[in-house]
Amino acid sequence: SQQGEEDPQALSIQEGENATMNCSYKTSINNLQWYRQNSGRGLVHLILIRSNEREKHSGRLRVTLDTSKKSSSLLITASRAADTASYFCATDANMYSGGGADGLTFGKGTHLIIQP
């Protein structure tokens, strides 16, 4: 079953505006990661936030984590056309721990469209 669920499923905004995506998960985690996927391509890692962190920044990205609500948000400020992509949250999934290869469980993604 899916661990992370992104909200909204799709988001369309004007260039220059801020975009906020949310992720909810079900079980306790050690960390949460956000990835971006451009159309038809592989995923690219954006940012990782540990369970003992509440907020993290990377360039125009700001991620928050609320472990009491089991939720995270990704904020992209001053959006650009190149930010058009699907965004996924991923959590470490205990059931995939095998010999040190801890797998991730991905949500279904938020498709972000930046209108020029």
Partner 1 sequence: DVKVTQSSRYLVKRTGEKVFLECVQDMDHENMFWYRQDPGLGLRLIYFSYDVKMKEKGDIPEGYSVSREKKERFSLILESASTNQTSMYLCASKIAGATAYEQYFGPGTRLTVT
User: Which residues are near partner 1 by CB under 8 A?
Assistant: 2, 30-31, 33, 35, 40-45, 48, 50, 88, 92, 96, 98-109
Q: Give the nearer residue to partner 1 in terms of CB position, either 30 or 115.
A: 30
Q: What is d(CA 80, CA 7) in angstroms, rounded to the nearest whole number?
A: 20
> Considering the complex, what minimum distance in angstroms separates the CB of residue 106 from partner 1?
4
> Considering the complex, what minimum distance in angstroms separates the CB of residue 2 from partner 1?
6
> Considering the complex, what minimum distance in angstroms separates the CB of residue 77 from partner 1?
22
Which 3-state string (H, E, C) describes 24-79? ECCCCCCEEEEEEECCCCCEEEEEEEECCCCEEEECCEEEEEECCCCEEEEEECCC
